[in-house]
Amino acid sequence: MIDVGVLLLTCAMLIQLNWREPQERLISPAYWVQRLQGKDLYDPRGVLWHGNRNRPEIALTFDDGPKPETLLVLDALKTEGIKATFFMVGKHIKEHPEIARRVIEEGHAVGCHSYDHQRQTLLTEKQVWQQIWDSRILIGRVQGRFSAYRPPWTDWNEPVLHAAQAHKLPLAMYTYATDYQSHLTPEQWANRVARMTHNGSILLLHDTYPTTADALPVLLRTLKREGYQFVTIPEMIERLP
């Protein structure tokens, strides 16, 4: 008799070579039900998992800013003519409003990443709602508006989802998380990321790591050579099949 769990795990390991999807998703029976229903990209409740697999588009996302290092990231993106999505922490917006303003003025999308980077699943729905609200007030003061919500560590549950829904914000997950590792050259890191990138990928990086900011230009040029176009999270949602 075939062990369904072992079969799913084996299929996941093989499929992951091409899809680059998180293995925990691929071994979940619920994932395959969603995929058959065409709901594996964007959950109707408002959870973005993946972009359109039929378009050579990817979304660059940066978490935890704005911080002084964000300026280096902005410089690299401006040089390459690329727009990204910045998931900002409310208290960091309060500390660096001028950096948040520059992100917005240069045409990038902004999302909420909580007010103080607490693990949102340990809070009540009302507390999560308040974290988003306090952050919305601050981003509004620099003429910004959130287009999505990414809880810290992308850790969420039903109360977190309901709080985001109350603010009419989709949850934005990711397909591959990476930051520059010092034991690699920037070229090696960029090539590794490129191998893990495919149509519809959502890449998660941090604009608060100086090493990532320094190596970012190499990554951007590498992904461009692979033929990818760059979209923001709201643009990715608009282009879903």
Query: Is residue 16 scored above 60 in pLDDT?
Result: no
Q: State pLDDT tens for residues 132-170.
A: 999 999 999 999 999 999 999 999 999 999 999 999 999
Instruction: Report yes or no on whether pTM surpasses 0.75.
Output: yes
Q: Where is 202: in which H helix or E strand? A: strand 202-206
pLDDT for the residue numbered 28: 81
Average pLDDT over the chain, rounded to an integer: 92
- Given a cut of 80, is residue 1 above it in pLDDT? no
Both structure tokens of 173: 């997950």
The predicted-structure confidence for 51-62, as pLDDT tens digits, reads as follows 999 999 999 999
pLDDT band at 29 (very low <50, low <70, confident <90, very high): confident
How distant, in Å, are the alpha carbons of 22, 27, 160 from that of 5?
16, 8, 29
Q: Is the pLDDT of residue 88 over 60?
A: yes
SS3 state of residue 110:
strand
CB 8, CB 30: distance < 8 Å: no
Buried b (16+ CB within 10 A) or exposed e, 85-119: bbbbbbebbeebbebbbbbbeeebbbbbbbbebee
For 229, the 3-state DSSP assignment is strand
Cα dihedral: 113, 87, 167, 24 (round 10): -70
Residue 26 is predicted with a pLDDT of 74
In the chain, helix, strand, coil percent, each to 5? Answer: 50, 15, 35
Give percent of the chain above pLDDT 70.
89
Mean pLDDT of 9-28: 58
- Length of the chain in terms of residues written: 241
Task: Give the per-residue pLDDT at 7.
Answer: 56
Percentage, residues of the chain above pLDDT 90: 82
Which residues are designated catalytic?
Answer: 63, 206
Q: Does 187 score more than 70 pLDDT?
A: yes
Amino acid at 79: T
Instruction: Please compute the mean of the pLDDT values over residues 103-112 and round it to a whole number.
Output: 98
Which pLDDT belongs to residue 35?
A: 76
Q: What phi and psi values does residue 135 have, to the nearest 5 degrees? A: -70, -35
